[in-house]
Structure 1
Amino acid sequence: MKNLVLLLTVFFLASHSMALEQPKHRVLETIGKIELRDYEPSILAEVEVEGERSAAVNQAFRILAGYIFGGNQGQNKIAMTAPVTQAPEPSSRAGEKIAMTAPVTQETVSATGSAGNPRWRVAFMMPSKFTLETLPKANDERIKFRVSEPVKRAAIVFDGFSTESNLSTHREQLEAFVTKRGIKTRGEYSMAFYNDPFTLPWNRRNEWWVAIE
């Protein structure tokens, strides 16, 4: 855990002087803390892990961080982006870091793991300068790449630490909003995290996303 905190801190402090690249989208409507957004396609690097939510995202983050810090067949360092998302599921070049982006996302995967543990899909968005053809191949076969489809999402933005109670409260608010509006959703709800571990609670940016019709 200590190594992960250090790694996260290095990531975000290294990128502090410049804004992290984020998924391209436009805001269609804002209602308090909730936004309806229209997202463009982006390339995602994803890994599926199982276990308790926070432990799962930590494990997945280490795997994905290894890739963007040079754990690829070109040894390329890739810029970080934001957010990281979480949802319930050979080259001869000399090497490059891949730029930071945000957020990290996390969502649940439908299937459960070997001991009935939940499975999670954690994703980093790849910088927009890359295509699937130009991205360096990951050394870790657990990392998969895909192009996300254009999608409309309902999102709720909130601060505070990503505790289970804080996450649950705001997911319920987003669920209540789409139900009241009669908005049809599809797929799983995803969590999106934008900050390093040392950002103060009132300065943090967390989000819940859900795709809408």
Structure 2
Amino acid sequence: MNPILKFASQLGESALSIVGVRTVEEPHYIRRPLTDRVEIRQYGSRIAAETTVTGEKQKALNTGFRRLAGYIFGGNHRDTEIAMTAPVSQSKEEIAMTAPVSQAGNADDGWTVRFFMPSKWSMETLPQPDDESVRLVTVPPQTVAVLSFTGDRSAAAVAARSEELRTTLQDNGIEAKGEITAWFYDPPWTLPFRRRNEVVVSI
């Protein structure tokens, strides 16, 4: 794409994101409501790029986000055999951003940040990350319970929503499997009341 057109497109997308208009792909799922606040979703297999960072939570998550952004914005390579020509050119491949961005973990084991890859990519076609701390993983099909919320997405807000999700599942006789994960769909500059945030757990 022409650099000027690409910049204009990115500028337009950034402006739309202020009011919560999303232009990126989301993983496909089948949903059914559990309560007026919680729904059950079935996701198929997906591919994600992920990295784990230790240390203080917010600093670790910021580091993880930057690592993954580096990968999708060109920090990758491809071991493809190409017929010998002159000149030889090597270019970085850019991968589209998707939503949501997933975060999970704890202070002892580290914090894992995950970007889901667009559906057009497979493990065979995705370029390998340049950064060895970034991994490509296959996320198996899963059924999850999801509580969506807007506004504040601080650690305290996520903890409160997570407790609400746990209580709702217990009240409905549903067993949670594993830790609750936070999913964020919007950049920090999105107006708080337009943000889409979710807490998610496998069931």
Counterpart of 2:85?
none
* Structure 1 spans left out of the alignment, 5+ residues: 1-8, 75-89, 113-117
- Answer yes or no: is the 8 Å Cα contact 2:53–2:112 preserved in 1: yes
Give the Cα separation in 2 of the matches to 1:197 and 1:137.
28
Residue from 169, 174, 178 that aligns with 2:165: 174
1:65 aligns with 2:69: yes
Runs of at least 5 residues in structure 2 that lack an aligned partner in the other structure: 1-9, 82-89
Cα displacement (A) at 1:23 = 1.4
Identity of aligned residues (%): 38
After superposition, residues 173-212 of structure 1 pair within 5 angstroms as 173-212=164-203
Query: Would you tell me which structure has more strand in proportion to its own residues?
Result: 1
Assess if the C-alpha contact under 8 Å between 2:13 and 2:23 holds in 1: no
TM-score (norm 2): 0.82
Amino acid of the structure 1 residue aligned with 2:102: T
Change (3 A) 1:171 1:12: farther
Say if 1:11 and 1:100, in contact at 8 Å, map to a contact too: no
5 Å-filtered alignment, 1:1-213, equals 13=14, 19-74=23-78, 90-91=79-80, 94-108=91-105, 112=108, 118-212=109-203
Task: Say which SS state the counterpart of residue 113 (structure 2) adopts.
Answer: strand
- Which of 1 and 2 has greater Rg? 2
Secondary structure of the structure 2 residue equivalent to 1:98: coil
Distance 1:179 1:30, change over 3 A: closer
For residues 30 and 185 of structure 1, do their structure 2 counterparts lie closer, same or farther at Cα, with a shift above 3 Å needed?
closer
Q: CA RMSD in A?
A: 2.3
Distance 1:41 1:21, change over 3 A: same
Which residue does 2:84 correspond to in 1?
Answer: none
Q: Which has the higher contact order (CA 8 A, sep 6+)?
A: 2
Cα distance in 1, alignment partners of residues 73 and 40 from structure 2: 33
Distance apart, 1:51 and its partner CA: 1.8
In 2, distance between residues paired with 1:15 and 1:41?
Answer: 30
Task: State the TM-score, normalized to the length of structure 1.
Answer: 0.79
Q: Distance in 1 between matches of 2:142 and 2:52?
A: 22
